[in-house]
Structure 1
Amino acid sequence: MSMPRIRIVATGGTIAGAGSRPQSTQVYASGALDVKDLCAAVPGLNELAQVETEQFAALDSKNATPAFWRALAVRLQELLDSEAVDGLVVTHGTDTLEETAYYLHLVLKTRKPVVLVGAMRPATALSPDGPLNLFNAVTVAAAAEAADRGVLIAFNHGIFGARDATKVNANRPDAFAAPNGGPLGLVQDGCVSWLARPDRMHTHATRFSCDTPLPPVEVLVGYAGASAALIDAVGACGARGLIWAGTGNGSASKEALAALDRLRAAGLAVVRTTRTGSGCIPAGQGMVGAGTLSPWKARVLTMLALGAGCGEPQLLQSVFDTH
């Protein structure tokens, strides 16, 4: 039986980072190494799959933009449409990995495995985590049971769904978690154990694609004494929507709520989330409820919904309820 054919698409990030000395784990150049160099540091890859590689970008992911998401999605869709590819692994910086992953989770039209992976330590550091993370990502992408689970993230032996995964630590190798639902599986020593499946619309089941426009949507965070002037400024900057990361249960002060009402009256989509990092936020205070989506994921979904013509509040709420 032939091995799965897995394409590794590199986009840069810490996993390909290079520092001036092995002790440097926070000061380094992201995306400095080529994907072939990354693979050369991972013994046993060719025992998992027929691996091919390509260098799509060499980006520090804090500089990722919606234009980057779309360009990457176009290339990945081309690969997924090929009969010569059984699954994809995408290397990516951790700063915005969750946003890229969720965008791809919503727009790629495929049942094939797509796994994003990164690292918290550059490739030149003492005890880098990238090589084992990459080995695990290829293990997951090569697993037949990974099909039709949407876009996945392989990190520190965990397998996370793109919808729920988030970066929860700025430094440690166990930087990713899914606070509301936990991992979808575990990967260790070339073996995958599945724990759950995603239950919301993704990939081939959504109305979105890499051709869906991405209108501008901003994010603001609530805090004690926050100025309503910042909310009013969103309406003046050309944004089509605002994600409100409110205190507690997505709440807003009297002043903030009045400003949010002004945005809604002006025709902007206003979506309510929480700054706490977990929890389920319903519709309320006149705003669409994001459910368990983080503010950053809610922004991605709102941009796509607006681009697909789903900006009317009831329709937008339906998009959040099903995705």
Structure 2
Amino acid sequence: MPKPTIAVGILDVELQQMPLVEPSVSGVHNFTYVLSTHPIQKDLAAFHRIHPFAHLAVVVSENLKGRLDFESFFERLAAPYGAEVELIFWEKETPLPALSDAVDAVYLAVVFERSPEEVGLLSEALAERKLPSFAMSRSYVDAGIMACIDQIFRKLALIVEGVALGEELAAMPVRHNLDEQWVLNAATIRRIGFDLSFETLFSARFLKADEPTTDRRLSLQEIIAEGLQSNLDLRIEKRNVDLAGQDMRRAKSSLLPTVETSTTLLQVDPNVAERALGQQPERTGAGTGTVQQVLFSEQVFANVKIQPAIAPIWSRSTWC
């Protein structure tokens, strides 16, 4: 290069055909580049961890068609996951890339010339189909794509400083350590109903997290009422309280008088009664009645006193 040149945004040496010689330098006079330690291979690995895709659509700008061998590159990267790759070149005149019905995940690769509005329309279409999406850049997540791995760069200033001190760019290392962090679009995740692991939730940064998802408004009392209604455990405990009240009434009923009555009616055939010569009446009726009242029982009296004391304990254990 006639002048010192630093290329940034290099995502993959093989895909972008950048010069690389040992020990991880460009080897080209007056030229170096910033190679992320988070290449596309790691993007796909991270995406597959949160969503084990089987048919991945990779969206690339049409103006790169024929310049790089995207198809074999992505097929090789997806092979360890047993996934098929559907390479789609996003044509300039087409508002949205055409995805087949088999697609279950979308990776937005190199589409730098697309505006945030166009990416937003794409994310809307993907959300309508409940398709998880992953991008190479956080700007796409701002526009509505579901997730990316953000890269916080810290080394560019050191390269510029090295140039100012007269160091040869060809000998400067191109690999730099970057801090990596999940960046997720909360609105998109809610819309497609995507489930995330606790590990991802705790380590991620969320965008659009404060966007409302419904126009329904509830008062505090309504929230509590709906929570109690939908909480099965609380409903079971409330039933236990109701049953405790039944136990108290059952205990008191043991002190009430017990009345039992019975009647018996016997009808004999007239001819049989006649042959019995008065020893067998034609009709016989009988009735009995008994009344029982508990006068003293330690067990019954104790149960009547215990049940009112148990019921408040059930109530406190349920609602406290």
| Fold similarity call, TM over 0.5 | no
Q: TM-score, normalised by structure 1?
A: 0.25
- Which structure has the greater CA radius of gyration? 2
Q: TM-score, normalised by structure 2?
A: 0.25
